[in-house]
Amino acid sequence: EEKSRIVDKIIEHTISSKFPGEIVLNLIGSVYTLTREEPGTSLRDAREFATLLNSCGRMNRAGLGIAIGIGDRGESYQEAQQLYSEYKTQLSKYMNWVATAPNATRTGKNVVIVNGKGIIDESMTGAVSSLISSSKLFGESKVTIVTTLTRSGEAKISTRATEQLVQKGVNLGKILQNLSPKYGGIGGGHAIAAGATIPSSELDRFLRDLEKSLDEMLA
């Protein structure tokens, strides 16, 4: 009941402030409650549970996530909470670097490319690209492309589109699936989020081709 009243007041405010209709619609969604988990914990809400597990993988502690997944609610859970805090801190540092470093980004007509070589860990490119895209830091009309080098020396590319671009026909998964083999790599994913790994020597050519494909698609 309290949540309903809060939502009603927020909707009234957004309408009176003439916010776009889609913002109002996005206020209402589904909540997935894991009823066997303790109330008040980050595991009770399925989205928070998934985020906690995701942070374990992103921080190269997959085993910790597995332990929680199979039921450890003691030491592993406490350690994962600390790791999640470190994960958020690391993401904040990356976002600050993207926003302030002079040579961190290059902006094209339909893309913003983040050169994370030597800065962004290979396990974090997807999270960084998602944050940049959802933050609208560079607007809603650009595909976010984050690149870095893997420990084996390959180039890793993570891309994110906005809902607006997907509605215009952008399908990053298909684009990367088709482009990557041309450069000796592999790629794919979903319409709104996709990734690829290619030889680092081919990165510049790959990015030019990717940008060209998006320009043609959005012309």
- What does pTM read for this prediction? 0.84
Sign of the CA dihedral with 92 first, then 154, 187, and 140 last? positive
- Confidence check: pLDDT of 81 > 70: yes
- Quote the mean pLDDT of the chain: 92
The domain spans of the chain are 2-96, 102-217
Residue with tokens 């597995």: 66
In the chain, % of residues over pLDDT 70: 95
Tell which CATH architecture fits domain 102-217. Roll (3.10)
DSSP 8-state symbol, 38: P
- Encode pLDDT of 88-111 as tens digits: 999 999 999 999 998 899 999 999
- Encode pLDDT of 131-175 as tens digits: 999 888 887 789 999 999 999 999 999 999 998 899 999 999 999
- Confidence check: pLDDT of 69 > 90: yes
Query: Which residue type occupies 141?
Result: S
Mean pLDDT across 22-27: 65
**Residue in 18, 21, 47 with CA at minimum distance from that of residue 34:** 47
The gap from C-alpha 118 to its chain's centroid, in whole angstroms, comes to 19
